[in-house]
A and B are shown apart, each in its own frame.
Chain A
Amino acid sequence: PGPLPLVLNTWPFRNATEAAWRTLASGGSPLDAVESGCAVCEREQCDGTVGFGGSPDEFGETTLDAMIMDGTTMDVGAVGALRRVKNAIGVARKVLEYTTHTLLAGESATKFAESMGFVNEDLSTNASRALHSAWLARNCQPNYWRNVVPDASTYCGPYKPKPPGVSEQDGTTCKGTGDTHSHD
């Protein structure tokens, strides 16, 4: 058997590992450790794929996804497409502790977060705004549309469904292309 306790996390986000370990060492629960470790990455915007100021959507907005699961009670709290609140894992923990739901999403999840005392604030930064502007300047490439007009592999939207009978557009614009530069 391997030695316990154990903290593991994806990618070399060292500060997150350290924070989780410290939380355990000071008597925190595994849930506290997961929450504190992930919150470090939200604050530090770990490699731009966690937290505010990264991965703007087509409108230029950054939205956040997070979940936390208790392996003893099988209880879960999660938020999807959370808008305008930075501490997504903290909101997920509140969903777990103060509701019998599992997953809250979108604008209403923001209202729940505000009721739990979280600050409603802009998640964009100069960096995310620059990312979005550069994407618009590249005719919105890459994007996740297919079978639409205008041709999504060449133009920005707005898009409409391609009329029936017109030849199928290659659906692998971004799917399965091994694109490792944009991921969850």
Chain B
Amino acid sequence: TIGMIVIHKTGHTAAGTSTNGLKFKIPGRVGDSPVPGSGAYADDTAGAAAATGDGDTLMRFLPSYQAVEYMRRGVDPTIACQKVISRIQKYFPKFFGAVLCANVTGNYGAACNKLPTFTQFSFMVYNSLKNQPTEEKVDCI
């Protein structure tokens, strides 16, 4: 799954996802990606977020919506992402998932749920401080 967040210099935001879902899924199964507030969410007055991982679990917690609502209250993007991961961890400690967060001033962050086979989440950033797309990684919590 690709989840993408774009914030224009005017502060206008957009977000989106595209995926071919889960391998060997039961036919008809739709994951979290196309669900607004789960796969991605954008609101010019607060920020934008996108998620990837075990969609059957993620979509029950609307991670992207929740992260944007944290940022609406002034929570730093990294903390907003971590709070969302922690919220899901309480119910499903072994879920596979990661969230990207960005607020309307261009600050951004990410978080992921730590598993034996998933300890870091890598994502791409491009902003006016960089002259090319840059890969960044976060340690999972």
Contacts and interface: CB of A to CB of B under 8 A. Distances in A.
Contact of B5 (A9, A21, A39, A54): A9
Contacts of B25: 55, 57-58, 144
Contacts of B66: none
A6 B126 contact: yes
Contacts of A56: 23-24
A34 B7 CA distance: 10
Interface in B15-54: 15-36, 39-44, 48, 50, 52-54
B15 A34 contact: yes
Given A14-B135, A71-B48, A184-B54, A66 B18 contact: yes
Contacts, number: 314
A67 B28 contact: no
Contacts of A48: 20
A177 B23 contact: no
Contact of B22 (A9, A51, A144): A144
A178 B2 contact: no
B98 interface: yes
A10 B98 contact: yes
A112 to B, nearest CB: 14
A122 B46 CA distance: 40
Contact of A64 (B19, B28, B58): B19
A63 interface: yes
B141 interface: no
B132 to A, nearest CB: 8
Contact of A70 (B24, B42, B53): B42
Interface of B: 1-9, 11-36, 39-44, 48, 50, 52-58, 92-96, 98, 100, 102, 105-108, 115-118, 121-129, 132-133, 135
